[in-house]
Amino acid sequence: MPEQTTVLDALKAMLGAERVSIGSSDRELHSRDQSAHAAYLPDVVVWPESSDQVSRVAAYANEHRIPLTGWGMGSSLEGNPIPVCGGIVIDFGRMNRIVQIYTEDFQVRVQPGMLYKDMNQVLAKYGLFFAPDPGANASIGGMVANNAAGTRTVKYGATRDNVLALEVVLASGEILRTGSRSVKQSAGYDLTHLFIGSEGTLGLITEATLRLVPVPEHVSAAIASFPSTEAAAQAVFEIMGASLGPAALELVDTAAVVAINRAEHLDLVEAPHLFLEFHGASDTSLTDVLHMAQVICNETGCQTFKSGLGREARNHLWNARHRLAEILIRSHPSLAYVITDVAVPISKYPALVSGAQQALQDLSPMDTYIMGHAGDGNMHTMLFFADTPEQHALVEHFTDQLVEHAIRLGGTCTGEHGIGIGKRKYMQHEHGLAAVQMMQHIKGLLDPKGILNPGKILP
Ligand SMILES: Cc1cc2nc3c(=O)[nH]c(=O)nc-3n(C[C@H](O)[C@H](O)[C@H](O)COP(=O)(O)OP(=O)(O)OC[C@H]3O[C@@H](n4cnc5c(N)ncnc54)[C@H](O)[C@@H]3O)c2cc1C
């Protein structure tokens, strides 16, 4: 690797001095995400303003074998953007423009540093929105790279299902365009989806063409409480099995309800809950669907069912749900934490939840929570514990068992947060040796010197 001053001079010549920093606060800010994984300082942080600048930085890093890690908002939960080998962090915050809105086709072309909530505010003027909605105000580049999902995925799909085309800068600096604006695409290998979920290990996303959906005219939400988390999980399966098509179906256990009540001044019964939302063509169709949802909930032992929430109450509820992870982290300031992210086929969801519930009892009196985007089979547990080797070992045993259980049920170790650092050890178990070796071949082909976000995904 060249001397640091040589690297800095080269980067400043490419980007301008004000787009390159070795300041300690900038390096600190780009050393950790929102997970509990250890921080690593990058050597230098850069803020390119165009694909061409990204390309030049990549070509230089590749020539000199300097690690190069993409950065959106740093809101990942698996250490995905932590520059574990130092090198250059490439922050896309200044590439944050909407390039073009295609209102007639319900599409938008956008730079990677655009934040999805900000983008949706602009799109609202056109009656459109981008549906994937992780809890944090993530960047489009980070969402594409992690294949992020959220509360609305059960109806509208994850990020993967809403990307039509990409512009990607490869490790070599070559600029590649994948996909097209056609919603049907059958032309050759699907390179777009190869880069989605690759966590910046195969290329740097410099533009994305996204599918949008019309803002629904008729929306209705309901809150149902249950005698047990297992009963709530059973209701999830029954609702999905009845094809009611919820736009959101979230599970929140009693401990999480207590925390959300306190932090967000909600007045929920202290019991496991489902939060439901439906989007429909008319109020009448919504009334029918809500009635059917209530009947199903009642059959699975539902204790209270409150529907007909107005817009303000709905916004309050969903903001609180989006902030839940943050609320829990803030309410345990001195403890270490882990968030699990398994997902299973919907028919196995009750078994997943009841298995987790039982296993969590072994961790008592640790503070633990269950929540999740239940309608798509995703369940999170959050565990807060003293930062000691014994407690870490207990938690690791729990997460290993949980992942094993999810995979046995036909599921995955991660529904949305990605592999990052923490889940690399599950890759071979989940995919098998041949598939992991194929991924290594692909990585070797696209990034032969291994400069792009090294130390992630592959075991
Ligand atoms: C409170 C909270 C709630 C959350 N809820 C959810 C949720 O419901 N669902 C969910 O899926 N996630 C959730 N997350 C996790 C996180 O928000 C998502 O993973 C999100 O996609 C990360 O986006 P980011 O912009 O912060 O990306 P970063 O964390 O900065 O980066 C993510 C990954 O993408 C890479 N990267 C960034 N930009 C690019 C680029 N342009 N090209 C190539 N690679 C790039 C990075 O190297 C890294 O590997 C939550 C996080 C928090 C803190």
- Residue whose Cα lies nearest atom 46 of ligand 1: it is 81
What is the three-class DSSP state of 193? helix
**Cα–Cα separations (whole angstroms), residue 367 to 124, 345, 413:** 39, 27, 22
d(CA 107, CA 123): 10
Nearest-CA neighbor of 209 among 102, 115, 125? 102
Beta strands 44-46; 20-21: pairing state? antiparallel
Quick one: pLDDT at residue 4? 85
**On the CB side of 332, how many CA atoms lie within 13 Å of its CA?**
22
d(CA 257, CA 265): 11
- Residue whose Cα lies nearest atom 52 of ligand 1: it is 136
Question: Does residue 69 have its Cβ closer than 6 Å to ligand 1?
Answer: yes
Q: How many Å is the Cα radius of gyration of the chain?
A: 22
Question: Does residue 143 have its Cβ closer than 6 Å to ligand 1?
Answer: yes
Q: For residue 321, give both structure tokens.
A: 């749900």
d(CA 168, CA 176): 5
Helix axes 349-361, 229-241, angle to 10 degrees: 170
Measured in degrees and rounded to the nearest 5, phi and psi for residue 339 equal -115, 125
Residue 74 Cα to ligand 1 midpoint, Å, equals 6
Taking CA 79 as the corner, what is the angle to CA 76 and CA 82, rounded to the nearest 5 degrees? 105
- Residue whose Cα lies nearest atom 19 of ligand 1: it is 76
Scored b (16 or more CB within 10 A) or e, 325-357 reads: bebbbeeeeebebbbbbbbbebebbbbbbebbb
The pTM of this model reads 0.96
- Residue corresponding to tokens 């070599």: 172
Question: 309 and 317 in contact (C-beta within 8 Å)?
Answer: yes
Cis peptide before 112 (omega within 30 of 0): no
d(CA 206, CA 164): 14
Q: Which residues of the chain have pLDDT under 50?
A: none
Question: Does residue 95 have its Cβ closer than 6 Å to ligand 1?
Answer: no
- Residue whose Cα lies nearest atom 5 of ligand 1: it is 135
Which of 94, 146, 264 is the pocket-test mutation for ligand 1 (most atoms within 8 Å of CB)? 146
Nearest-CA neighbor of 27 among 39, 38, 13? 39
Taking CA 408 as the corner, what is the angle to CA 383 and CA 233, rounded to the nearest 5 degrees? 55
Residue 385 Cα to ligand 1 midpoint, Å, equals 24
d(CA 249, CA 377): 10
| Per-residue pLDDT tens over the stretch 166-176 | 999 999 999 99
Residue 143 Cα to ligand 1 midpoint, Å, equals 5
Question: Does residue 199 have its Cβ closer than 6 Å to ligand 1?
Answer: yes
Q: For residue 231, give both structure tokens.
A: 């009963």
Residue 366 Cα to ligand 1 midpoint, Å, equals 28
Question: Does residue 416 have its Cβ closer than 6 Å to ligand 1?
Answer: yes
Helical segments of 210-323, H only: 229-241, 254-264, 283-299, 311-322
Question: 250 and 274 in contact (C-beta within 8 Å)?
Answer: yes
Residue 142 Cα to ligand 1 midpoint, Å, equals 4
| Residue 311: CB atoms within 10 Å | 9
DSSP state letter for 105: G
d(CA 12, CA 113): 21
Burial of 392 (0-12, 13-18, 19+ CB in 10 A): middle
Read off the amino acid at residue 51: S
Closest ligand 1 atom to residue 150 Cα is 8
Q: What does the DSSP assignment read for 30-57?
A: TS--SSSSPP---SEEE---SHHHHHHH
Quick one: pLDDT at residue 71? 98
Beta strands 336-339; 273-280: pairing state? unpaired
Quick one: pLDDT at residue 418? 98
**Cα–Cα separations (whole angstroms), residue 122 to 105, 135, 139, 239:** 16, 19, 15, 34
Using DSSP, how many helices (H) and how many strands (E) does the chain show?
Answer: 16, 19
Which of 31, 32, 69, 71 is the pocket-test mutation for ligand 1 (most atoms within 8 Å of CB)? 71
Residue 322 Cα to ligand 1 midpoint, Å, equals 14
